């Protein structure tokens, strides 16, 4: 098997899944959200990452949301924007099925969480076997999603990820563990042409990347500071519910409904100084 091609350098954004009050998919809001992200200049959109409430959706809902994202991009002139789909399940068989579903719905890559129902059984050999088996069977290239908060504390080390990176159909990782040293070790051990190493929480922005490329480092540093402060304020609002409330309040689509057992956030609380500055900046670009 030839080595699959990793996703290209760029800014990738995780999308939330929009719901109606009865917790059914809100298709108009999903389309509006996808279109706004694409118009912002992102390289790709992650559907059904942790912010996408993947584990709260049925297989058919997951597949439908991926297809809706791909259709929205294609119909609005964004055929080059990639779709990455979260495909982590609690068994190898389920994860493989979700990868097949993702391909059928139009995703280019699959982002695979490590199973976490039985943490004591998830030894390093079992984790490596799981990811290799899924990658062997997946019809699209896979990426390793390392996020201890949502996998019962399971935190893959750099040795494990670099070992998996040798697999021809494993082409990257998303590190939501916040370990910068780990990111540097993996990025230096595996060439970007073969393996994409993404920070899972980079506080990044398309405009920030543009400033960096243009050599406007002072402006980039100021924007990075604003992004870091605004992201911290957003996190204190309550993760998924907070993101939805902020977007609904400032961008005028969707509603802050989440699927239980998560709880919604009152939109009146979805405000903070740095967040409002960042929203104003985004609207000005």
What strands lie across the sheet with 196-199, from one edge to the other? 12-15, 44-47, 82-86, 109-113, 142-146, 170-175, 196-199
Residue position matching structure tokens 């409904």 = 257
End-to-end CA separation in angstroms for the chain: 44
Answer yes or no: are the C-beta atoms of 260 and 18 closer than 8 Å.
no
Give the burial class of 28: count Cβ atoms within 10 A of its Cβ; 0-12 exposed, 13-18 middle, 19 or more buried.
exposed
Give the CA count within 13 Å in the CB-facing half-sphere of 174: 26
DSSP 19: B
Q: Which two tokens stand for residue 136?
A: 């062997």
Q: What is the H or E stretch that residue 219 is in?
A: helix 217-251
Supply φ then ψ for residue 256, to 5 degrees.
Answer: -80, 45
Which residues are identified as catalytic? 174
In degrees to the nearest 10, what's the CA dihedral of 136, 141, 147, 151? -30
Residue position matching structure tokens 């402006």 = 219
DSSP string, 24-74: SB-HHHHHHHHHHHHHTT-SEEEESSGGGTGGGS-HHHHHHHHHHHHHHHH
């Amino acid at each position: 098997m030839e080595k699959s091609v990793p996703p290209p350098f760029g800014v990738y954004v995780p999308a939330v899944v929009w719901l109606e009050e009865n917790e059914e998919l809100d298709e108009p809001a999903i389309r509006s959200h996808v279109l706004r992200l694409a118009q912002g200049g992102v390289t790709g959109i992650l559907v059904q990452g942790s912010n996408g409430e993947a584990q709260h959706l049925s297989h058919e809902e997951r597949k439908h949301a991926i297809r809706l994202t791909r259709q929205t991009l294609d119909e609005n002139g964004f055929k080059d924007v990639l779709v990455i789909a979260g495909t982590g399940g609690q068994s190898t068989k389920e994860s493989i099925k979700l990868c097949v579903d993702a391909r059928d719905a139009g995703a280019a890559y699959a982002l695979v969480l490590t199973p976490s129902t039985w943490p004591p059984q998830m030894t390093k050999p079992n984790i490596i076997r799981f990811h290799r088996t899924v990658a062997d069977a997946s019809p699209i290239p896979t990426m390793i999603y390392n996020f201890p908060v949502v996998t019962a504390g399971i935190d893959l080390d750099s040795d494990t990820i670099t070992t998996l990176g040798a697999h021809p159909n494993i082409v990257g990782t998303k590190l939501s563990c916040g370990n910068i040293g780990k990111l540097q070790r993996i990025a230096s051990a595996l060439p970007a042409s073969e393996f994409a190493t993404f920070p899972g929480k980079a506080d990044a922005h398309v405009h920030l990347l543009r400033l960096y490329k243009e050599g406007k480092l002072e402006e980039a540093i100021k924007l990075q500071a604003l992004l870091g402060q605004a992201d911290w304020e957003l996190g204190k609002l309550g993760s998924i519910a907070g993101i939805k409330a902020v977007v609904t309040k400032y961008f005028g689509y969707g509603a802050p409904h989440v699927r239980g057992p998560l709880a919604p956030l009152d939109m009146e609380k979805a405000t903070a100084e740095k967040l409002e500055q960042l929203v104003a900046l985004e609207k000005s670009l």
